[in-house]
Amino acid sequence: MKNKSLFGRLLDNKKLVLILSLLLSLTFWMISSDNTTSTITDVPISYNLSESASKDLKIFSTSIDKVTINVSGKRVIIDSLSVSDVTASVDLFSINKPVTGTYPVVVKNNSNMSFDIESIEPENITIMIDREATKTVNIVSNFSYNPEGYYVENNLPQTVEITGPETLINKVKSAYVTGKVNSPDASTVTNTYSLRLFDSEDPNSAGAQEISTEYITMSFSSVDVSFRFMKIDENVPFTIKYTPSNIKLNTFYYTVSPSTISVAGPEELVTGENAITEFAIDIGSLSKYKNQIYNETFNISDVLGDSFINKSDGVETIKVQLDFSNFNMETFEVPSTKIKINNLPEGYNYSVPSTFAVSVVGTATALDNLTENSFSIVYDFADVNPTSDTPVDVPVSITVNSNGLCWVYRTSETVSVQLTKN
């Protein structure tokens, strides 16, 4: 028989095995029965508001929405605990009107295990309970610019929407944006600014108080603002623009009020070779004017376009008086030989009238020099939908050639004609 190993001989010793078993059991018992402490973090807080109050009121809490719980008990239990084994709540069931107060956080054992809750951090939480309100307030700005001496246009929104406790929302009167704008080369720059809320329509006025946004949300709390630096020209004149462009209308026949305007615009359009020298007021075609006095009004913004800003305070319109009262108006019968027909529809005929009456407004000298050879009349059927059932309107262009000041007066750019089929 072979000799047994030392381990085998030890196992054959029943007394020794019994002693070892007792020692192991005692050690396990001591470990499992040992008390210890631990911390459960990030336990969410629930709020118990009555159903009737919940219909009208809302809880506006601070940024603290979780607590830390210190627990003690048997190690084997404490080591197995998790967030789901405890609950943290604030009892608000008795509240039925707007209020701000400090309330205790209540923690309960949510498991079937036995352990002790030693402490809660924090023990109390401040809560605002109020009706929710929303309103729109104006945004007030205060920017300082570098370089100076420019008109600076920006795209800052005019209003912002705010939502929060009715008590606070009613106090807010404006949103405020302020900051420095630096553009060494006076070009367009974009900066980001935060909005602040104030209890005054003028945040810079004496006594104006800033209102905390802790419980308030805004449709935007910061904004990207683009700034366009524009040069100012204090004295840019107006002139009259009209058609036909070959006619030269002397300033004797019109007055413009105001005659000049102060504008801000891109530096290259205000100074240098490409600078604007005047603004043209387009009165349209002279053909709509007879030998009378006309008073026209134009919006300055329409005349300036998108590149320029009106800097003349209180001036929003331009008044133009056209004085053609010293002109004459005469009607000429132009023979059919001076009438040209273009793009007559295939399968149709048109009998050209023997004469075409043309009214001309102008100086006496200009009218005296006109003959039938001074006129050119063109009927153009290109865009006409042909029919012989009813008359059709045909665009007609009339040209008068004269060395004097005159133009064709017309009430319509078309003539009604009757087509016949071949």
pLDDT tens-place string over residues 11-53: 566 666 676 677 776 666 555 557 889 999 999 999 888 888 8
Percent of the chain clearing pLDDT 70 (strictly above) = 93
User: Same domain for 302 and 359?
Assistant: no
Domain boundary among 130, 165, 181: 130
Cα–Cα distance measured from residue 215 to residue 132, given in angstroms and rounded to the nearest whole number = 10
Please give the average per-residue pLDDT across 357-385, as a whole number. 94
Question: Based on the structure, what is the number of domains in the chain?
Answer: 5
User: Same domain for 258 and 296?
Assistant: yes
User: Same domain for 48 and 118?
Assistant: yes
| pLDDT of amino acid 341 | 94
| pLDDT of amino acid 1 | 47
User: Same domain for 160 and 113?
Assistant: no
Domain boundary among 220, 243, 264: 220
User: How many residues belong to the chain?
Assistant: 422
Please give the average per-residue pLDDT across 59-84, as a whole number. 89
For residue 205, what is the domain's CATH number? 2.170.120
Q: Which amino acid is at 389?
A: D
User: Same domain for 73 and 55?
Assistant: yes
Is it true that the peptide bond before 165 is cis, omega within 30 degrees of 0?
no
- Structure tokens that stand for 138 in this block: 């104006």
213-242 pLDDT per residue, tens: 988 999 999 999 999 999 999 899 999 999
Least confident of 53-57, 153-157, 355-359: 53-57
Q: Phi, psi at residue 324, to the nearest 5°? A: -105, 20
The answer on pLDDT for 78 being more than 60 is yes
Structural domain boundaries enclosing 238:
231-323
Residue 77 counted as domain residue: yes
Q: Are 45 and 65 in contact (CB under 8 A)?
A: yes
Residue 225 counted as domain residue: no
User: Same domain for 147 and 87?
Assistant: no
Percent of the chain clearing pLDDT 90 (strictly above) = 70
Residue 249 counted as domain residue: yes
**Residue matched to tokens 């108006």:** 329
The answer on pLDDT for 199 being more than 50 is yes
94-153 pLDDT per residue, tens: 899 999 889 999 999 999 999 999 999 999 998 889 999 999 999 999 999 999 889 999
Q: Closest Cα partner for 408 from 354, 379, 370, 381?
A: 370
Residue 349 counted as domain residue: yes
User: Same domain for 335 and 365?
Assistant: yes
Average pLDDT of the chain is: 90
For residue 413, what is the domain's CATH number? 2.170.120.30
CA distances (Å), 46 to each of 85, 90, 197, 280, in order?
15, 6, 30, 70
How far, in whole angstroms, is CA 347 from its chain's centroid? 57
User: Same domain for 416 and 349?
Assistant: yes
User: Same domain for 51 and 64?
Assistant: yes
| pLDDT of amino acid 248 | 86
Please give the average per-residue pLDDT across 282-305, as a whole number. 94
Domain boundary among 189, 220, 251: 220
| pLDDT of amino acid 54 | 85
Query: For 66-107, where are the alpha helices, taking DSSP H only?
Result: 75-78
User: Same domain for 276 and 362?
Assistant: no
User: Same domain for 214 and 267?
Assistant: no
Residue 284 counted as domain residue: yes
Please give the average per-residue pLDDT across 357-372, as a whole number. 94
